[in-house]
Amino acid sequence: MPIEPRNPHLSKSTRTLVVSYLGVRRAIGAIGLLLPVVLGPVGWLAFGIEIQDNMSSYYHTALRDVFVGAMCAIGVFLFCYRGYDWIESLTGKLGCASALGVALFPLDAGSDPLYQRSVLGYLHTVSGGAFFLTLAFYSLYHFPNPEADRREVAPHEPHRNFIYRASGVVILLSMLAMGTYLFLIPGWLKRRFNDYNFLFWMEWVAVWSFAAAWLTKGRAILAEIAVDLMTLPGQLLRRHE
């Protein structure tokens, strides 16, 4: 279904801008959707790489180029994503900087993200936290913004806004879980969590949550099907009224 601005008097260049935004959104969402799968299950099954303690630890494996390339690509897409106001443009630049920080400042090998041996390692930890906060801000503030809704035709807006906000909440809850793991639980319990790669799975949840929001905002086919399915109960109830 073509995407058109709500205002029929907007210029052709504006309509083109809206369509180009969809491509950027889909690209960011697709990378987020595929990255954990390629690093985790595919890396284990195809390359014999054990599931790492966290996604950043893949920098020190044969999948380093996949991890770095994916984060750099997300950073470039966020830099190109200007948004509809200066706040969204600034958010994109901050997201770009944090994504590139995650890619270019490696986590120290075999280390706890909270206790690094180098400045680069600490820069990586800070960049990772800023990256997830930026993506949560997109989901909770920018995507459900009524100003954006007035500029783009998007059916079932309440359901889309539910997905955006749910995505942002899940990202924040995942960060809370990771913060609790890093700062609060005792060492013996943390070692038990390490046995099950706790940080990796929490990062997977957060990454897939932001992927869901960006794919929905980008009107990707699977996301459109999910939104349509969400509307079915309401449609059935109205028919029986």
In the prediction, which pLDDT does 241 show?
58
Q: pLDDT band at residue 231, thresholds of 50, 70 and 90? A: confident
27 lies in which domain range? Answer: 13-240
Residue 120 is assigned to a structural domain of this protein: yes
Q: Residue 228's pLDDT is what?
A: 84
Average pLDDT (217-226) is: 88
Domain membership of residue 6 (yes or no) is no
The answer to the question of residue 62 being in a domain is: yes
Q: Is the per-residue pLDDT at 82 higher than 50?
A: yes
Confidence check: pLDDT of 10 > 50: no
Give residue-wise pLDDT tens across range 93-102: 999 999 999 9
Contacts of 198 (CB under 8 A, 6+ apart): 181
Q: Which of the 8 DSSP states describes residue 118?
A: S
Q: Is residue 1 part of a domain?
A: no
Contact between 102 and 70 (Cβ < 8 Å):
no
Q: What is the pLDDT of residues 28-64, one digit of tens each?
A: 999 999 999 999 999 999 999 999 999 999 999 999 9
pLDDT value for 83: 74
Higher pLDDT, 165 or 19: 165
- Please measure the distance between the N-terminal and C-terminal CA atoms of the chain and give it in whole angstroms: 30
The number of distinct structural domains making up the chain is 1
Measured CA to CA, the distance from residue 106 to residue 191 in angstroms comes to 22
Residue 56 forms part of a structural domain: yes
pLDDT tens column, 142-157: 999 876 656 666 778 8
Burial of 165 (C-beta count, 10 Å sphere; 0-12/13-18/19+): middle
Percent helix, percent strand, percent coil in the chain, to nearest 5:
75, 0, 25
Which tokens go with 143? 């995507």
User: Rounded mean pLDDT of 162-179?
Assistant: 97
Range list of β-strands (E), the chain: none
Share of the chain above pLDDT 90, in %: 64
Whether the per-residue pLDDT at 202 is higher than 70: the answer is yes
Tell me the average pLDDT of the chain. Answer: 87
Is 7 part of a structural domain of the chain? no
User: Among 152, 149, 132, which Cα is nearest to 210's?
Assistant: 132
In a domain, 5, yes or no: no
Tell me which of 34-48, 123-137, 144-158, 206-220 is least confident: 144-158
| Distances in whole angstroms, Cα of residue 141 to Cα of each of 87, 105, 148 | 10, 28, 11
More confident residue, 232 or 30: 30
Residue 3: inside a domain: no
| DSSP 8-state class, residue 142 | I
